[in-house]
Amino acid sequence: MSEVIKPVSRRSDLRVLWHLLCHPVRGDSHAQRLENFYQGQAGDYDSFRARLLHGRAELLTWIDWPVGGTWVDMGAGTGHNLFSVADQTTQLDRVCLVDLSPSLLEVAKQRVGSEGITNVEIMQADATRVDLPDASVDVVTFSYSLTMIPDWFEAIATAERILKPGGTIAVTDFYVSRKYADAERQQHGWLRRTFWPLWFAADNVFLNGDHLAMLHRRFEPIRCEERQGSVPYLPLLKAPYYLLIARKPMNDH
């Protein structure tokens, strides 16, 4: 079983671009704003994002999927990650697709049902309040979702809480460096550090120079790569993003 992305459709892209550029995001809570943003583009989500959200499938190949394990995908959306590695994850006992947007999760539910996958649980929940026992999960992933969670440090703390000691966390997302990056990290100039946060913030995506630092502080990094990716219809621009895989320290309980 492998992920199938709809062919590029100009009409589909126009709907997505309208929501990205022209549709005002409204709502009194993060959940309402998220649903307001995605409701009108849920069916077009994957075809456009496949050309914007780089590194997702590659990151998943870095994970050593445990037989009989549990995987929680935070901000799972339409279930893209699951269907990217569906052949490898049939050995898992449980896959939890967590998202706040019912429109995106409805797409995921339909796809899971059409494939007859039985080890998947759809969870409409806030990533900072996932109702799972402590130290009960083998793998947690955040795929371009950490920048959309206002209380992102609590989302990381939740991942740390539910992961078993030695469990894996894998994250890919847009970011900008700190003004003075650590020696081993890439240093972005003023223009990049200013432009990309403003550009993404219009869609309630908040780039942050502290995400990588926090992840490195709370977990034991295995592999981390910082890259730049193309943006649809803006061929001269490259957005910075990273891929990180790390483990929860064995002495954490």
Provide the pLDDT confidence category of residue 140 given band limits of 50, 70 and 90. Answer: very high
Inside any domain, residue 89 = yes
Residue 35 belongs to a domain:
no
**pLDDT higher than 50, residue 80:** yes
* Averaged pLDDT, 42-62: 75
Average pLDDT of the segment spanning 91-100? 95
Residue 11 forms part of a structural domain:
no
Q: Would 253 be classed as within a structural domain?
A: no
Provide the domain limits for residue 60: 49-247
Whether residue 70 is contained in a domain is answered as: yes
Residue 41 belongs to a domain: no
**To which residue do tokens 């706040």 refer?**
100
Instruction: For residue 181, give both structure tokens.
Output: 């990056």
The reported pTM is 0.83
Number of separate domains in the chain: 1
* CATH number for the domain harbouring residue 169: 3.40.50.150
pLDDT at 3 over 60: no
DSSP the chain: ----PPPP-HHHHHHHHHHHHT-----SSHHHHHHHHHGGGGGGHHHHHTTTSTTHHHHHHT--PPTT-EEEEET-TTTHHHHHSHHHHTT-SEEEEEES-HHHHHHHHHHHHHHT--SEEEEE--TTS----TT-EEEEEEES-GGG-TTHHHHHHHHHHHEEEEEEEEEEEE----TT--TTS----HHHHHHHHHHHHTTT----TTHHHHHHHHSEEEEEEEEEEEETTEEEEEEEEEEEEEE--TT--
Mean pLDDT, to the nearest integer, of 40-56?
A: 65
Evaluate whether residue 31 is within a structural domain: no
Mean pLDDT of 4-28: 50
Summarize the confidence of residues 7-20 as an average pLDDT: 49
89 vs 6, higher pLDDT: 89
Query: Is residue 185 included in any domain, yes or no?
Result: yes
Does 51 score more than 90 pLDDT? no
| Mean predicted confidence (pLDDT) in 158-175 | 98
Instruction: Give the percent of the chain with pLDDT over 90.
Output: 62
Q: Write out pLDDT tens, residues 187-244.
A: 999 999 999 999 888 778 899 999 999 999 999 999 999 999 998 777 889 999 999 9
| pLDDT over 50 (residue 8) | no
